[in-house]
Structure 1
Amino acid sequence: MADLDAKLLSISLSRGIFFPSAEIFSNALSGFWDYGPIGLSIQNNVLMLFRRFLKSIDAVEISGANILPRQVMKASGHEAKFFDVVTRCGKCGSLYRVDKLLEGLGISDNVEGLSDDQYRDLLKKNGVKCSKCGTPLEKVEHFYLMFPIMVGDTKESNAYLRPEACQSIFLDFKRVYETSGKKLPLIMSQTGRAFRNEISARESLLRQREFLQSDIEIFFTDDSGFEVDKSAEISFRDGDKDVKLGVDKALEINLIENKVTAFALSNVHKFFTSVGFSSDILRFRKLYSDKAFYSKESFDIEIKKGEDWIEVASCNYRGDYDLSSYKKAGAEVVEVDRKIPSIFEVSIGTDRLIYLLLYNSLMSDSERYWLKLKSSVAPFVSAVFPLLSKKELEDVAEKIVNSSAYSQNIYYLDGGSIGKRYRKGDEIGVPLAFTVDYQTLEDSTVTVRDRDTMKQFRVKMTDIDKVISESMSSDFDSLSKKFNT
């Protein structure tokens, strides 16, 4: 589906959705992307839904520092273990991530987490060669992913840019616990930046060196206080089988092993569907041997992209690993009844989520492309256009915008042909477009056009806000029956 990726990138560049950082310089670094005005509006709307979701599960939100002391990353194990196993061509110097190289060549579906010797044996056994010069690739080495930082008057790095947002939550847990009534379970969340020195940062928002994460950490000592939504049906990937089950059934057959996991999965599933991911492109993949060594139970949330499934979030029952690691390193941690709390984590790649939402929302026909976004996510709730660049029409259009309760969320354009303005609105996902024409001057009605079907009807100017409001929960045909004049 490379063509769809290319078209999405083209639209994003031309409409100000996202684009490479520092692109005006020819030697700009790869793996860094900026959101433009349209993209940031979409991101803000996604995060608004995320925060609404947080409120529904009684979570509290923090904002932690991007730079963390070296002792934190040493205690967490990142300084010693946060690396990719790579192979470097001895002739031309080309560098490859071994697991992705082997998977890309079809040698193995899942080689993540093997030992150096196992990777080395697979390279030799399969005669893997450098794609650029043909030299056999046989040696492996470690490529460390954290960015070291020098803070203050020092000649050595004494801090790191955080490689994941969750560490700030673990660090702040004691303070938030003590100021929140010292009650468990406590659910904490953070949306913030993480930084990883990826070997090959490609695929735009899907793989970056600086990216946005939305993390949720559930602190608890037992799972008795978690109510499970038994009505939630989730698509699971279990080994090589796809199954759709209610959460209660998944618990019953031990596909989900405890109530905390069930609580987290059922609720985060609601968030993903609220953003606009349908059940046929959303699944939860159970991890077994490929889960993190500290995890008691793990699921990856995956979104379909063409024929592939892309990981967009990880869900891990981390136990007391993180807080215990801090304690061993000398940190003061919370204990409840002389027991260190356990943690269940949901870590969402926010930029990945947004990219896959745009990708799966990009529609086309013989005439146009459009983003089929939900009103709650779209950058504007509607557009208002004068039919022509004539003062009498522009004056009425501007009056409509300025008097609307949605005035700060309306897309207004008055240049170019009406067809081109419709296309611009379609390509950024604006659901409705109200057009002021010469009939408007006679009877105070305007044309309203649907983004997805291009159907139209006329509506009274006084009903425009009502149409916008009801469009968030009604289809266009229902709106036409109620408001068509």
Structure 2
Amino acid sequence: MSKTDDILKNVVSHAKEYGFVFPSSEIYDGLSAVYDYGQLGSELKNNIKTYWWKSMVQLHENIVGIDSAIFMHPKIWKASGHVDGFNDPMIDNKDSKKRYRADQLIEDKITRYEKDKKLEKAKALQGDLDEAVKSDNLTRLKEIIIEHGIVCPVSGTKNWTDVRQFNLMFSTKMGAMADGSEVVYLRPETAQGIFVNFLNVQKSGRMKIPFGIAQIGKAFRNEVIARQFIMRMREFEQMELQFFVRPGTEMEWYEKWKETRLKWHLALGGDSSKYRFHDHVKPAHYANAAVDIEYEFSFGFKEVEGIHSRTDFDLRQHQEFSGKKMQFFDPEINQNYIPYVIETSIGLDRMFLTVLSNAYHEQDLSTAEKKDQRTVLHFHPALAPVKAAVLPLTKKDGLPEKAREILGDLKFDFNTQYDEKDSIGKRYRRQDAIGTPVCITVDHQTLEDNTVTIRHRDSMEQERVSAKDLSSILQQLTGWSSLLMTT
């Protein structure tokens, strides 16, 4: 197993051990590409959503949020192009009976070339892939796979089928009677719920161009490939903004949102060298420009957010298929027009993995006298699932009672934990492993002068403070303002 595989394996193992992510339906041997978020994972996920919502909606006077339904009229997906064109190029290995996305097999080979310092080969292969994708040449994709000796990860053989297109939408029936039921789809994206509500939001909110509509919601895709943990899931969550602009200004807004969104990622404190923009060689049918923000995971650079200039495609399509005018009257230029749209779309689950991967560290703290190490999650304090742990030094002499009194004062404003089991050192390590920024130790001196010891996660330094100041200290350290002001 390679070092990169070890890193991902360790992150996955840590996520399960400490209650971040579990395989779904595990007692029934699981369900491929479906995961459940545990007690700490759901807290971290909610914090990521809050960070996105506050920065996109709360901080912008011209952006509002909605929550549209998962089920929508099936004609919506005909209008959007998903019924006819929402496909991935798939290839099967005849020996393992496994199915793969052809372009991703080739991308993995490019990553291996890069890691092996075969940069010329990587560059040439990337060029061949770009050309094949741009021209929808499925035959060429298979030829590239054969030429570069790409083998099935399971069987290790090169016994491939031809490359075929595979539609990713889940369908079901709506209606009480089988004969009278109608085929509907689980939405493969949340964007269309925004577009079909464009007029409702614009009129009820008296919105003026430019303005945005944001949404966080579930989406569903029949992903054939289950790999790289929560990178590719069949049930996932998106955080999307559709920003409506005057035609002719879309590229200016496209560049502005590129800069804004990258800044949002970097505000969390990650290594800026691990992020990059990757322009689409072949933008989707609705876009005149598209770029991905990619993060360098242990298994290579992968998309975490997409930014697209969608032109007026979606609103125009819905105007045609619904027969309703999807236009805006602009009083500044005295014209009616269908707005153009800039989209920022971020996969919440991928963002979760980005935050977790960026935070995960195995530290060797050994000295000449003693071997010591810790696994620590360096979350930004605002995202940390638990903001503070309150720890009585011992389980006697009134220390637990005092500790719970302090906990009671803090829990209304902060997510906190109480722990009195094992030595104080082991309890510190447990909190490091879940990313708690601060541990508050209550000792005998606390009973005398109402002071406690604060131990900081990242530096492991300790300081003595008054218990009455804990709330303001935690607010300054973990509050949203410190993070949002940098975005």
For Structure 1 versus Structure 2, the TM-score category normalised by the shorter chain is 0.7 to 0.9
Corresponding residue SS for 1:68: coil
Q: Distance in 1 between matches of 2:475 and 2:268?
A: 18
- 2:208 is matched with which residue? 183
The alignment status of 1:280 with 2:305, answered yes or no, reads no
Q: Distance in 2 between matches of 1:123 and 1:370?
A: 40
| Amino acid of the structure 1 residue aligned with 2:327 | E
| Contact kept? 1:406, 1:465, Cα under 8 Å | no
| Shift in Å, 1:472 | 4.3
Residues 111-150 of structure 1 mapped to structure 2, 5 A cutoff: 111=130, 112-113=133-134, 114-123=136-145, 132=155, 134=157, 136-150=159-173
Give me the whole-angstrom Cα distance separating, in 2, the residues matched to 1:464 and 1:124: 63
- What is the aligned partner in structure 2 of residue 259 from structure 1? 252
Flag the 1:318–1:123 CA change in 2: closer, same or farther, 3 A.
same
Flag the structure with more relative contact order, 1 or 2, with Cα contacts below 8 A and sequence separation at least 6: 2
2:171 is aligned with what amino acid? P
**8 Å contact kept, 1:46–1:275:** no
Partner residue in 2 for 1:416: 422
Distance 1:436 1:298 in 2: 54
Tell me: CA distance 1:194–1:390, structure 2 relative to 1, closer, same or farther (3 Å). same
Give the Cα–Cα distance (whole angstroms) in 2 for the partners of residues 84 and 432 of structure 1: 46
User: Cα distance, 1:407 vs. partner?
Assistant: 5.3
Partner of 1:250: none
Secondary structure of the structure 1 residue equivalent to 2:401: helix
Cα distance change of structure 1 residues 89 and 40 upon mapping to structure 2, 3 Å threshold: closer
The aligned residue for residue 33 of structure 1 is 35
Deviation at 1:182, TM superposition (A): 5.1
The number of aligned residues is 439
Tell me the secondary structure at the aligned position of residue 315 of structure 1.
strand
User: Match for residue 72 of structure 2?
Assistant: 68
2:342 to 338, 341, 344: 344
SS in 1 for 2:322: coil
Give the match for residue 198 of structure 1.
223
- 276 and 165 in structure 1: CA distance in 2 versus 1, 3 angstrom threshold: farther
Aligned to 1:242: none
Shift of 1:57: 2.6
2:18 matched to 1:15? yes
Distance 1:130 1:424 in 2: 40
Report deviation, 1:93.
3.2
More off after superposition, 8-17 vs 407-416: 407-416
The equivalent residue for 2:55 is: 53
1:440 aligns with 2:446: yes
Q: Distance in 1 between matches of 2:36 and 2:445?
A: 42
Post-superposition offset of 1:309? 1.5
Q: Is the 8 A contact 2:242 2:342 kept in 1?
A: yes
Relative to 1, partners in 2 of residues 1:340 and 1:399: Cα closer, same or farther, differing over 3 Å? same
What's the counterpart of residue 6 of structure 1?
9
Are the aligned partners of 1:32 and 1:208 in contact in 2 as well (CA < 8 Å)?
A: yes
Closer/same/farther in 2, CA of residues 470 and 176 from structure 1, 3 Å limit: closer
Identify the match of residue 316 of structure 1 among 308, 317, 324: 308
Q: What's 1:457 paired with?
A: 463
Q: Output the amino acid matched with 1:397.
A: A
SS of equivalent to 1:400? helix
* Stretch deviating more after TM superposition (132-141 or 297-306): 132-141
**Amino acid of the structure 2 residue aligned with 1:53:** S
TM-score relative to the length of structure 2: 0.84
**Matches of 1:89 and 1:404, distance apart in 2:** 57
* Shift, 1:96, TM fit: 2.4
Kindly provide the amino acid, as one letter, of the partner of residue 93 in structure 1: K
Q: Which moved more, 1:177-186 or 1:418-427?
A: 177-186
Consecutive unaligned residues of structure 2, counting only runs of 5 or more, are: 111-121, 329-334, 365-372, 480-487
Measure how far apart 1:71 and its partner are.
Answer: 1.3
With over 3 angstroms needed to count, the CA separation of the structure-2 counterparts of 1:158 and 1:282, relative to structure 1, is: same
Task: Give the letter aligned to residue 72 of structure 1.
Answer: I
SS of corresponding position for 1:448: strand
Secondary structure at 2:241 match in 1:
strand
CA distance in 1, matches of 2:12, 2:295: 19
Unpaired segments ≥5 residues, structure 1 = 225-256, 474-485
Give the alignment's Cα RMSD to 1 decimal. 2.4
* Deviation at residue 279 of structure 1 after TM alignment: 2.4
Using the aligned pairs only, state the percent identity. 31
Kindly indicate whether the alpha-carbon contact (under 8 Å) linking 1:148 and 1:158 is maintained by their aligned counterparts in 2: yes
Q: Which residue of the other structure, out of 195, 205, 209, is the alignment partner of 2:234?
A: 209
Q: Counterparts of 1:369-448 in structure 2 under 5 Å? A: 369-390=375-396, 392-404=398-410, 408-448=414-454
Residues 1:123 and 1:360: Cα distance change in structure 2 (over 3 Å): closer
Is the CA contact 1:213–1:349 (under 8 Å) kept in the aligned structure 2?
Answer: yes
Out of 85, 99, 105, the position equivalent to 2:103 is 99
Distance in 1, Cα, partners of 2:143 & 2:12? 39
Listed one character per residue, the Cα deviations across residues 313-341 of structure 1 (whole Å, up to 9, x for unaligned) are: 10000101111222332342422334221
- 1:300 matched to which residue of 2? 292
Q: Which residue of 2 is the match for residue 171 of structure 1?
A: 196
CA contact 2:419–2:427 (8 Å) conserved in 1: yes
Q: What SS does the corresponding residue of 2:270 show, helix, strand or coil? A: coil
Distance 1:388 1:432 in 2: 19
> What's the secondary structure of 2:344's corresponding residue?
strand
Cα distance in structure 2, aligned partners of 1:315 and 1:291: 11
Cα displacement (A) at 1:412: 1.5
**How much does 1:102 deviate?**
2.7
Contact 2:5 2:299 survives alignment (8 Å): no
Question: Of 262, 266, 288, which aligns to 1:269?
Answer: 262
After superposition, give the CA deviation of every residue in 1:335-360 in whole Å (9 maximum; x if it has no partner): 23342211110000111111111111
Alpha-carbon separation, structure 2, partners of 1:408 and 1:472:
9
CA displacement, residues 384-439 of structure 1 (integer Å, 9 cap, x when unaligned): 10112226110000011112375542221122222221111111111111111222
Q: Is the 8 A contact 2:33 2:227 kept in 1?
A: yes
CA contact (8 A) 1:405 1:465 kept: no
CA distance in 2, matches of 1:21, 1:364: 27
Letter in 1 for 2:36: D
Helix, strand or coil: the match of 1:348?
Answer: strand
Alpha carbons of 1:105 and 1:47: their partners in 2 closer, same or farther (altered >3 Å)? Answer: closer
